[in-house]
Chain A
Amino acid sequence: MTQQQTGPDRGEPILRLRGIGKQFGAVTALEDIELDVHSGEVVALVGDNGAGKSTLVKVLAGVHQPTSGTIEYLGKPVTLDTPGKALEMGIATVFQDLALCENLDVVANLFLGHEISPWRMDEVQMEVRAWTLLKELAARIPSVREPIASLSGGQRQTVAIARSLLLDPKIIMLDEPTAALGVAQTAEVLNLIERVRDRGHGVILISHNMEDVRAVADRVVVLRLGKNNGVFTAETSHQDLVAAITGASENSVSRRAARQLEPVSENQ
């Protein structure tokens, strides 16, 4: 069922993971993971809850250290031992738990760790840049001078996404970025993902929404119980994807679908 495609329009490989494993004590969160991301490509990472998607993202963001395996970035083997290093190299992340400082305002959060002129912070320039970034996402944020604590879940998610764009990264990882977003904002985020891809950057998108995944992903990488479980294209049928995610063609989703059909056939 694995159909590794090599389209002619795919760019240089940015990121190449080989045999990545991660143990949390007795729990094996990731085992022998292979993943390639090319420039100008959107890779969707899907899998059930607890499949290890967030863990993989955190390994690439320098938050967790892998227990085994190698990471190649732009053709060179690298160790991502701190989040700061990953950011510097051009790997930006929107974490599932957002990781914002609630006591600071929107501008401070956007520029955290990368303030303009560190010895005499340029608040005006930072605020202008903040509005520009937020506009790009069609954000509905009344004031960037209010603490994050006063924002709604969706607004916070927008801030987190805007922050990942700040440093003009080579690759962006978005861990369930649209989970708290409304319809219009979700569309904006999908547009944004396409814009980032068209600029020649790589995107890793984690989402449970298969419609969104199909809309933007060039490839769909399935994780199951911490292992690779196939690579698909957006054209793959829903059933096959669900089968790969849940691990069987006979699963709770297909059973549910069948159950809903049953009464209809009985009546006839």
Chain B
Amino acid sequence: MTQETQSTPQLDRADTRLRHDAGLSGALRGFTDRVRSGDLGMLPVVVGLLLISVVFSTLNPIFLAPNNLVNLLFDAAAVGFISLGVVCVLLLGEIDLSIGSMSGLASAITGVLWINMGIPLPATILAVLLSGAVVGLVYGFLRNRFEMPSFVATLAGLLALLGMQLYILGPTGSINMPFTSALVRFGQIMIMPAWLSYLVAVIPGALMVIGGIRTNQRRTAANLSSSGMSVTVVKAASLTAALVLAVFYLEQGRGVPWMFGVFVLFVMMLDYALTRTQWGRSMFAVGGNAEAARRSGINVQRIRLSAFVVCSTLAALGGVFAAARLASASQQAGTGDVNLNAIAAAVIGGTSLFGGRGSAWSALLGVLVIMAISNGLTLLNLSSSLRYMITGAVLAIAVIVDSLARRSRASHGRA
């Protein structure tokens, strides 16, 4: 924050035309600039969540009751996993329309292998994940080898996987899972101990501060400008306060579901992979300009393959979690609004349908919005017909916001 006093200009501060946003006011100014130019980031989803909370809690105070929110988190985890996979394919500008069917097939396989055939649960889950990976490999192969648009390939997959789900479930069409089993307890009642929830709530803020200090030290050592700690500290403090408050509130009810905790862990892992590894950088590059990525030496086909595999595998895992939540594998699993909810969640959270923009966190925030809407409408005793229509409208709005923001970014030179 004290660049002016230094004798040798820092490497990145030589150009006088650049405004240097230092300190808190600078950070705020940078943020408003970005939003104005259409780089909305997480803003729409935060605004959306606030709106939803206000509207639904005035219509029915139960909406904000701690235990209702705990239920909401249980529901959110399964769709969240699916949505997390969707983020990967959307980043490449591809789509997977078969995620619902994949999750349904996954729950059917779980039921057949685990309940009907008595195979141990870990082996069953491994088999389910493998089946998801194989489906992803097929999509990737079709895309790479035949340049089949993923839209078409996965639409075909939607039907084929649904057929497989019905086939392996057989004439009875539904397999119940024992309520005493670990999987179902995980999906319905297992709650993280309070101390662990609080610990998890302070970790992101702590990591932010530690990472910020280390980055600043390294940048200063390398004669680069450092952004100053005040911004980082304020950000970390408000994040920690929000998370601790959320945990405190949930603890007034049952507490934080393990299933949701595992989901958040996966979000953080994918976020690391996307932002800090070469693989993640390549994903953004292929989504932004595939030919440029290829000419930089990136194996575009392998990146595509990996994205489809991650997507289908996470959809399969989501299917297992959905089965755990419902304590059954049925013909209805993965049908209805699952597909749309998962894709809508990613888009609402800020991952662009046009490729090259997005984040793992968009799955988390988006799925909270979608599930909050669905939960709120259910509390109002609205039928699923109305719920579908409203969710469809929300997705449409999210896509419109995405398109408008994209146009605005283009005119502001921000890709």
Q: Which residues of A contact B (CB under 8 A)?
A: 61, 63, 82-84, 87-88, 93, 95, 98-104, 108, 112-115, 118-121, 123-125, 127-128, 131, 140-145, 147-151, 163
CB-CB under 8 A for A113 and B415, given A121-B278, A143-B18, A144-B12: no
B219, B292, B357, B415, most chain A CB atoms within 10 A: B292
Q: Does B120 contact A (CB under 8 A)?
A: no
Q: Are A83 and B277 in contact (CB under 8 A)?
A: no
Q: Are A125 and B222 in contact (CB under 8 A)?
A: yes
Contacts of B285 in A (CB 8 A): 101, 104, 108, 112-113
Q: Are A118 and B278 in contact (CB under 8 A)?
A: yes
Q: Does B238 contact A (CB under 8 A)?
A: no
Q: Are A88 and B297 in contact (CB under 8 A)?
A: yes
Q: Does B189 contact A (CB under 8 A)?
A: no
Q: Which of B351-371 contact A (CB under 8 A)?
A: 356-357
Q: Does B36 contact A (CB under 8 A)?
A: no
Q: Are A113 and B15 in contact (CB under 8 A)?
A: no
CA distance A128 to B298 in the complex (A): 23
Q: Which of B210-229 contact A (CB under 8 A)?
A: 215, 218-219, 222-224
CA distance A45 to B121 in the complex (A): 66
Q: Are B284 and A124 in contact (CB under 8 A)?
A: no
Contacts of B296 in A (CB 8 A): 83, 87, 99, 112-114, 163
Q: Does B276 contact A (CB under 8 A)?
A: yes
Choice from B276, B279, B291, B298 contacting A84 with Cβ under 8 Å: B298
User: What 15 new A-B contacts, CB under 8 Å, besides A113-B298, A118-B278, A124-B224?
Assistant: A61-B295, A83-B294, A87-B296, A104-B288, A112-B281, A112-B285, A113-B285, A113-B293, A114-B297, A125-B222, A142-B17, A143-B12, A150-B412, A150-B414, A150-B415
CA distance A175 to B185 in the complex (A): 64
| 16 residue pairs from A and B, CB less than 8 Å apart | A82-B294, A99-B295, A99-B296, A102-B288, A103-B357, A113-B293, A113-B296, A113-B297, A115-B278, A121-B276, A127-B12, A141-B15, A145-B12, A149-B414, A150-B413, A150-B415
CA distance A69 to B200 in the complex (A): 62
Contacts of B413 in A (CB 8 A): 149-151
Contacts of B205 in A (CB 8 A): none
Closest to A145 in B: B12
